[in-house]
Amino acid sequence: QVQLVESGGGLVQAGGSTTLSCAASGLPFGTSNMGWFRQAPGKEREFVSGIDWSSRNTYVIDSVKGRFTISRDNGKNTVYLRMNSLKAEDTAVYYCAADRSFPSHALARTVNAYEYWGQGTQVTVSS
């Protein structure tokens, strides 16, 4: 059974930082491309950042570029999203997801491309 468990969310002041973690089990994490998505109230789920299975390729969307960094530790089956300089508009439920398109290094950016999802973790940025 595949499980993706996010942690690290919570209430953060504007300008502050936090790191989200996503621990994976039940899938070959070392050959899975991973993504972070977020969904704000009343909005569609949007792709935020992705990292390929080898960490060779990473991507973040323009609105978080320079503030968010994705990384992974294949030895710990965990992917991270470091979020700095948080803004009120970053408030959302953040989800990690796994894409089984190995050996591709290409990073999918659509919800439908990802096969497995975590339950999400709320990040609330107070201004």
pLDDT in tens, 9-33: 999 999 999 999 999 999 999 999 9
For 89-111, what is the mean pLDDT?
93
Mean pLDDT of the chain: 96
Would you say 20 and 68 are in contact if contact means Cβ atoms under 8 Å apart?
Answer: no
- Calculate mean pLDDT across residues 81-101: 96
What is residue 77's predicted lDDT score, i.e. its pLDDT? Answer: 98
Residue 69 has pLDDT above 90, yes or no: yes
Structure tokens at 88: 């009120």
DSSP letters, 24-85, are: EESS-GGG-EEEEEEE-TTS--EEEEEE-TTSS-EEE-GGGTTTEEEEEETTTTEEEEEE-S
Query: Exposed (0-12), middle (13-18) or buried (19+): which is 126, by Cβ within 10 Å?
Result: exposed
